[in-house]
A and B are shown apart, each in its own frame.
Chain A
C-alpha cells in the first residue's frame, strides 16, 4: 500500500480535501468511443481521490464476443489461478482466455495478475435455472470458496478495469485508450471505512451491472444480510458492493423498472409520502414494507450502468454532488461540472438534479424526463 502521507498532500499543510470522484459518459446513439476523454475528465478531479483506488467500466467493449460472459478475474497467487481455471473449465465452455494486457508504470505497485475469460454456460446449468442465475452463483463460488481469486467483472460485451492507483493511472496501466465503448463510467477513490485494495476499487459489478459510488452506505449491514437471502455474498470489503447486487436483484430478477428501484433505494420521506396521491402512497408504502431492507441510508451519489443504460442517483437529501450535462447524443454525469466541460465545453445543457430522482439515459431514450425541477434548468 502506498504511504498516504506521501501521495495525499505534498504541501504538508494538513489540508485534506478528498472525496470520491465519479464520472460517466454515454453516447445514446450507441456509437463507440475511446476512453481517452473519460480518463481526462476523471483525472481533472484527481484531488478528490488519494490514489488508493481507481477504475472504469466500459460497455460495448467486446463486440467479437457479444454473447459470451466476459469474466475479469484478479489472482493474488498462482494457486488461486490453478484452482479457479480448473473450476471454470469444469463449469463453463471456455471460448477464449488471456492475460489482460497491461503497461507497467511506476505508479502501479505490486499488481495482481488479471486475466479474462469468455465463457458460455452451454449445458452446464441445471434445468430450470437461467444462465444469468447460474453465472451469479459461480461468481459467488469463486469469490467465497476459491482461494486468492476475485471475479470483478462478469457481464456480456462489457468489462471492469480497476485497482489501487488513481483512475488515470489505472487507465494507463490497462491501456484503456486502446478500447472503445458507447458507455464509460469512472471512479477515483478516497477510501473511508475500508482498506484500499484491488478488489475494493470501484466499479463494483455483477453480470453487466456496474456501480461507482461517492459516499458511504450506513445501512450496509442490513442491506448485506438481506441480499444474502438471495444468494449474494459480499466479499470486496466495501459498502458499494451491495448496490450492484441490489440492482441485479430488483431489475433482473424482480423485473422492476428503474424509477421504482430509485423509490426503493432512495425513498421519499414519510412526510412527503403523506402528501402524495393515494395510488402513489400505496406503491411507496408497499415498497417500504417489502424492500425496506434495501433502503440505502447515508450519503451517496452513484452512477449505475448496465447494457444500454446509465443511471445517476443521489440520496434523497443529496449529501453528495451530481451534475448532468448533455450535448447532442452524449449524456454526462459527474461529481463536478468542470470535468464535463473539460471534454465537452459547449454543452447543450448542464444542470443539477434533485436528490433521490434518477437521471436515466438509455439507447431508446437519450434522456428520460425528470419528474421534478432541477437547478440550472435554463442552461
Chain B
C-alpha cells in the first residue's frame, strides 16, 4: 500500500481515488484538502483505511464509497461523513462533534465513548453499540440505528441518546440483543418495539415516553428519515419504550468493603 495519492479539486469539491493508498497517506491528504478550503471530499474505492475523519478541525463533508476501515471518525471533531456501504468496528470512537451517516450496517462498538456528535445507521449494528457514551452540559452524543443491534447495546452508557428502530425486523419479531444497557448509569435509550425483561441489564429501568422524550425522538427520527428516504410518521406511529438508568453509580460498592 505505497501508492501516492492525488486529488482533483473543483469548486471546493475534491475527489480522491483511495485504491491501494496507505491509510496514513490518505488521512494526511484529507487533512490537507480540508485545510485548503475543500468543502466536500469524495473518496472512492475506500477499502479498509482506518481513522478517516480523525484529526480534522473543520466541518468538511467526507463522502465515502467503499468500505472504510476501523475507527472511522475516531476522535472526530466537526466533519460530516457519509458512507455508501458498511462501516467496520469502532466507528465514531470517542467522537466529539460532527455527524456520521451510514447507508448500510456498522460493526462492533459503534459510538464507543462518544462525547458529542451524531451517528445515523440505516441498518443493523454489531455488539456493544454506544458503549460508555457520555454527556456533559450541551455535549450530548446521539446514535440512531435503523435496524436492530446485537448484545450489550448501551453497555456502561453514561450519557447521550441512543435510538433503536428495528425497521428490518419481521412483523411480530423482537429485538434479540441481550444484556442491553448493562452497567448503564446515564443517558437514555429509545427502543421501537419491545424487549423481554431478561434482555435488559440489571441497572436498566423501563418507562413510557413522556412528551419531552417524544419531542426528542421525533426530531431524531425525522432526521434519520430524511437521510434514508423513510416515512417518519410511519416509524413514529408504533410502540416505543424508554430505557433509563436506575442508579447513578451501579458499581459504587462493588469493590468497597
Contact = CB atoms under 8 A, between A and B. Distances in A.
> Are chains A and B native binding partners rather than an unrelated pairing?
yes
Interface of A: 11, 17, 44-47, 271-272, 275, 317-318, 321, 323, 336-339, 341-342, 350-352, 354-355, 372-379
A337 B88 contact: yes
A342 B151 contact: no
Contacts of A373: 148, 176
Interface in B104-128: 104-108, 123-127
B140 interface: no
Given A336-B70, A337-B88, A372 B176 contact: yes
A372 B169 CA distance: 12
B94 interface: no
Given A317-B152, A336-B89, A341-B66, 9 more contacts: A47-B50, A275-B198, A323-B107, A336-B70, A341-B67, A354-B150, A372-B176, A375-B107, A375-B148
B48 interface: yes
B92 interface: no
Contacts of B178: 272
A338 B69 contact: yes
A176 B74 CA distance: 37
A186 to B, nearest CB: 15
A355 B168 contact: no
B24 interface: yes
Interface in B67-98: 67-70, 85-86, 88-89
A272 B149 CA distance: 18
A336 B147 contact: no
A297 to B, nearest CB: 17
A84 to B, nearest CB: 40
B69 A336 contact: yes
Contacts of B149: 375
A352 B85 CA distance: 14
Contacts of A378: 123-124, 147, 168
B150 A352 contact: yes
B195 interface: no
A377 B168 contact: yes
A17 B50 contact: yes
Contacts of A374: 124, 150
Interface of B: 1, 23-24, 46-48, 50, 66-70, 85-86, 88-89, 104-108, 123-127, 147-152, 168, 176, 178, 198
A54 B137 CA distance: 49
Nearest to B168: A378
For the residues of A in contact with B, the DSSP-based class is loop
Nearest to A319: B127
Contacts of B67: 337-338, 341
B147 A318 contact: no
B130 to A, nearest CB: 14
B49 to A, nearest CB: 8
Ranked nearest first, the 9 interchain pairs of A and B with the lowest CB-CB distance are A338-B48, A375-B124, A376-B105, A338-B67, A338-B47, A341-B67, A378-B168, A352-B126, A318-B127
B151 A317 contact: yes
Contacts of B24: 11
A354 B108 CA distance: 11
A377 to B, nearest CB: 6
Contacts of B1: 46
Nearest to A350: B86
A342 B150 contact: no
Contacts of A272: 178
B5 to A, nearest CB: 17
10 contacts: A44-B47, A317-B151, A318-B150, A336-B69, A352-B108, A355-B151, A373-B148, A374-B124, A375-B147, A376-B86
A11 B68 CA distance: 22
Nearest to A272: B178
B150 A375 contact: yes
A153 B121 CA distance: 44
A228 B151 CA distance: 35
A379 B148 CA distance: 13
Contacts of A45: 48
A338 B152 contact: no
B48 A336 contact: yes
A372 B178 CA distance: 12
Contacts of B108: 318, 321, 352
Pick from B23, B69, B85, B150 the residue with the most CB of A within 10 Å: B150
Contacts of B88: 321, 323, 336-338
Contacts of B106: 375
Contacts of B105: 351-352, 375-376
A379 B127 CA distance: 18
Contacts of A350: 86
A342 B125 CA distance: 22
B24 to A, nearest CB: 7
Contacts of A376: 86, 104-105, 123-124
Contacts of B68: 338
Nearest to A352: B126
B48 A339 contact: yes
B47 A355 contact: no
Nearest to A44: B48
A342 B48 contact: yes
A352 B148 contact: no
Contact of B89 (A46, A321, A377): A321
B9 to A, nearest CB: 26
A314 to B, nearest CB: 9
Nearest to B124: A375
